[in-house]
Chain A
């Protein structure tokens, strides 16, 4: 595990250094720029959706057996309005606990 973490650390540093270290003045090539723009939404979507619609490994949207989906919908609505990590964590966790307790 430590080896994996060190590899990720070195790789991350190299992506940060990349253009600063190698090119100085050179611009990012256009063919690379376009896909890079969609890495963030694609990766985040691919992390969030499975975690909320199938937290136990099977697809489940029912609040009684998977309160996380409904809690995430509520947190998502709040996130659109405020975009504040602390607020969204508080609302999402609160919703999860209340749903857990109610159902």
Chain B
């Protein structure tokens, strides 16, 4: 890398920051483009179900702006509609989002070179998809300016598609009859998200145990069945991994 920089003429060095910015941004946006095929229908489903639930279209759209995390938003809509107490809704949605700690930890060494303002604003855009494409790209680049704009491009492309898809879903949702059973699309979305995380034996066990316990605990008060299932499922995954090490 040092050799490469030294080889550049002085003119090119002056242009560097702007080019980094443009290239990084468009590279990041381009990297997430194929993922939008999955993100947009997900956002539509969210909008449609929010509009048809107790949550309503207005708050449904607001969740995309305020929370900006699809799985947590769907869980929020589903639980509120099912009459779960709001405290449990908050706790469950945050449990769903606890995976962001992992992303944050992995991104931290790269973000530490960014200006302070970016370090505070950019985490808002830290989604599964933005994380996945950025961490992959960061393996092959060491330029903080490029990294920053790459993440910004990926994050903003996802963010704007998500907002538009949610609004479109809410608008469409108002015209779709309940009898079509579109709420079924929610578990279908989660089913797709489930496939990559059950490829290991502990992951599979965590999912199966979590699911069975949630079914068994479905009568639990305040709609706590999901949280109980998740907790026991995580424990099952950790124990399986420990046993596998011996």
Contact = CB atoms under 8 A, between A and B. Distances in A.
Nearest to B204: A41
Contacts, number: 276
Contact of A12 (B72, B186, B198): B72
Nearest to A71: B184
A34 B235 CA distance: 10
B182 interface: yes
Interface stretch (B7-15, B18-26, B132-140, B188-196): B188-196
Interface of A: 1-9, 11-13, 15-21, 23-28, 32-55, 57, 59, 68, 71-72, 75-76, 79-80, 83-86, 88-89, 92-93, 96-97, 100
A51 B226 CA distance: 11
B76 to A, nearest CB: 6
Interface stretch (B35-43, B142-150, B167-175): B35-43
Report the contact-size class of chain B (Cβ under 8 Å from the partner): 35 or more
A15 B101 contact: yes
Given A45-B210, A45-B211, A88-B191, A36 B98 contact: yes
Interface of B: 37-38, 41-42, 45, 54-55, 59, 62-63, 66-69, 71-72, 75-76, 78, 80, 86, 89-90, 93-109, 111-112, 119-120, 122-124, 126, 180-182, 184-198, 202-204, 206-215, 218, 225-226, 229-234, 236-238, 241
Contacts of B211: 45-46, 48-50
Contacts of A20: 104, 107-108, 111-112, 119, 122-123, 126
